[in-house]
A and B are shown apart, each in its own frame.
Chain A
Amino acid sequence: MTLRLWHRQSLMTTQLAELPELHQMMRQTCRDYAQKELAPIAAQLDKDHKFPAKQVKELGAMGVMAVEVPESLGGAGMDYLAYCLAVEELSRGCASTGVIVSVNNSLYLGPILKFGTEEQKKQWITPFTTGERVGCFALSEPGNGSDAGAASTLAQQEGDEWVLSGTKAWITNCWDASATVVFATTDKSLKHKGISAFLVPMPHPGLSLGKKEDKLGIRASSTANIILEDCHIPLGNMLGERGMGFKIAMQTLDSGRLGIAAQALGIAQAALDCAADYAHKRTAFGAPIGKLQAIQFKLADMALAIESARLLTWRAAMLRDAKKPFTKEAAMAKLAASEAATFVSHQAIQVLGGMGYVTDMPAERHYRDARITEIYEGTSEIQRLVIANNILKEYQQ
């Protein structure tokens, strides 16, 4: 490595240890909001499966629903590191709110910001920056999740319109969304190179929603199928070029998985908060259980898992902000953070014992919320494939 590269790497490492003042302030405001407005209602939102509309509007007013969107389009104009910090802090208060924010930022606004025309940006971005409206991302289908290239939803051109038909599955936010980015096949013979992306308003004739899934966790965010039957949209609603859909999806997910990594970190942190607090208060064998090595080892492992994943997440975000390749690093971050979330929340219940199993304490909700982070926006298995492919390329003979 050249001296300059080493110097730049070491600068990044220093920066990782101590965030810039702007980011610290931003993190603090999100933390304050999460502690005061989200944490007190999270359990009830989970019980009621209720979309936090009021909070989403307030977050919109704070600029959190469109962190990376430039100010000219109504966003906060901050970088991806700031966005990851925001999602982590909000998820620490309420994991559902975290994913609502993440999907709107990364999966909906992200691709339009990157691939949209100026006209499309004005129409499909600006109204979605205020928290009044949220968007969603429709890639998965009942027949394919990880196998994204096998999209069976079709888009056929009829005159000056596209007609979409097919079913999309597992769409986060869809019952509360006002628009969606949909991926459909325009040229079946080209396989994954024949997929294109489209912008569809919601509600819209020809677009209907399946029943809300009754999920294990993140229950305040809605998940359902989107059914397209003879859904007509103007030609101008194609996002990017014809056949670019798969590329758009993959690039969007590269960034999106950092949002999910951040969400997983927030859940893990909340679980650690719960366990550490309990370790101080609960006494057994004549002393607080925090004095017992068995508990101490658990807390140490939990904290280590979170910090490691956090640094991976920050590094990937900083690479993205520096416009450097970050696919491998993003996959590592998402994998590490989601596995940390499931590990930490599992151990948190263990530390709490019986209390961890009942709804009086939030540990059980963190456990339920954590589980999905290893599945959506690229399963842990897919992340491993992405990392391995990148490693093998690096070592190519």
Chain B
Amino acid sequence: MHRSSEVKHVASYLNTRGCECFGQPCESHCPVLTDRTIHVQLKTFIKIRVKPDRTGVVTDGVKHSMNPFCEIAVEEAIKLKEKKLVKEVVAVSCGPQQVQETIRTALAMGADRGIHVEVSGKDYETLGPLQVSKIFAALAKKEQADLIILGKQAIDDDCNQTGQMTAALLDWPQGTFASEMTLEADKLKVVREVDGGLETIKIKLPAVVTADLRLNTPRYATLPNIMKAKKKKIANVKPADLGVDVCSRLEVLKVDEPPQRQAGVKVETVDDLVGKLKEAGRV
């Protein structure tokens, strides 16, 4: 256990996948549990399409970028470093070669080094929160991290599980949906956005925090930092090296587009409306 003044690492774990930033859809590595429909958001330039075999969405040739909640997580980690409350920020991502770009963006924001956990091909298609959290837990032990900050969920699969699972596997306390976090001695004060309002908790380090929208506003990578990022190291690791089996225990049954919006019906009077609603069993 480390005191806050000795906090060595803040591992900021990046959700590797794409995100629907500016209309570019993303790749899901979280299999759907049943025949849950994937929420398709029609954006200005790129339409998300379900694969013909209905096992997922088309991701080939589609630009990926850092999950917005993960950007917020990275920003928070860097802010802690700027306040000299942590010594090192490590950005981690799991996925194929292209996730290195995302790690480099984190480095350009100010992270000190990166770790790329290589998962590709079929393994990547079926990679989900359970496997990812096992990887993160193993890395956290290896790196002797004191704090793990993740985005609360990925905006492609909306799983919202990785942070919680990671904490459970490590038997660490967790502060999820954080809209505010403050390091006080060896405790972390986290303000959580919950359905009922705001909940403030104090958790001991080491801990896992997941970032919510209002935690901060991520910075733009500055040109000098982009230059510096070039020299920062990204280590390559395989799940097997960490003793993690990425085999999925879930099977995607099917993926469907949301039902087409049906035309409405116009009615003349309020009575007609009530009648129609009763017919449809809604009232």
Contacts and interface: CB of A to CB of B under 8 A. Distances in A.
B227 A61 contact: no
B49 to A, nearest CB: 16
Contact of B224 (A21, A58, A63): A63
B226 interface: yes
Interface stretch (B171-179, B202-210, B215-223, B270-278): B215-223
B44 interface: yes
B229 A61 contact: no
B78 to A, nearest CB: 14
A62 B104 contact: no
Contact of B227 (A58, A62, A77, A86): A77
B22 A62 contact: no
A277 B226 CA distance: 32
Contacts of A332: none
A35 B220 contact: no
Contacts of B222: 29, 61-63, 76
A199 B190 CA distance: 54
Contacts of B230: 21-22
B22 A82 contact: no
A164 to B, nearest CB: 35
B28 interface: no
Nearest to A277: B44
Given A29-B108, A35-B22, A22 B221 contact: no
Contacts of A32: 220
Contact size range, B: 10 to 19
B105 interface: yes
Given A76-B227, A78-B227, A277-B44, A25 B108 contact: yes
Nearest to A77: B227
A22 B104 CA distance: 10
B74 to A, nearest CB: 14
A319 interface: no
Contacts, number: 48
Contact of B220 (A22, A29, A67): A29
A139 to B, nearest CB: 28
Nearest to B218: A32
Interface string A78-93: 1000100010000000
A71 B44 contact: no
A387 B235 CA distance: 50
Contacts of A64: 223
B219 to A, nearest CB: 9
Nearest to B100: A21
A277 B104 CA distance: 31
A21 B104 contact: yes
A32 B108 CA distance: 14
A62 B227 CA distance: 12
Interface in A59-78: 61-64, 67, 71, 76-78
A82 B223 CA distance: 9
B226 A29 contact: yes
A33 B224 contact: no
Contacts of B101: 21
A160 B229 CA distance: 48
B213 to A, nearest CB: 15
Contact of A33 (B22, B220, B227, B229): B220
A25 B220 contact: no
A67 B44 contact: no
Interface in B140-163: none
A43 interface: no
Interface string A1-45: 000000000000000000001100110110011010000000000
Interface in B227-252: 227, 229-230
Interface of B: 22, 44-45, 101, 104-105, 108, 220-224, 226-227, 229-230
8 contacts: A25-B229, A29-B222, A62-B221, A63-B222, A76-B227, A78-B223, A78-B227, A277-B44
Given A25-B108, A76-B223, 13 more contacts: A21-B104, A22-B226, A25-B221, A25-B229, A26-B223, A29-B220, A33-B220, A35-B22, A62-B220, A63-B222, A67-B223, A71-B224, A77-B227
List 8 A-B pairs, minimum CB-CB distance, nearest first.
Answer: A63-B223, A76-B223, A29-B221, A62-B222, A25-B226, A63-B222, A63-B224, A33-B220
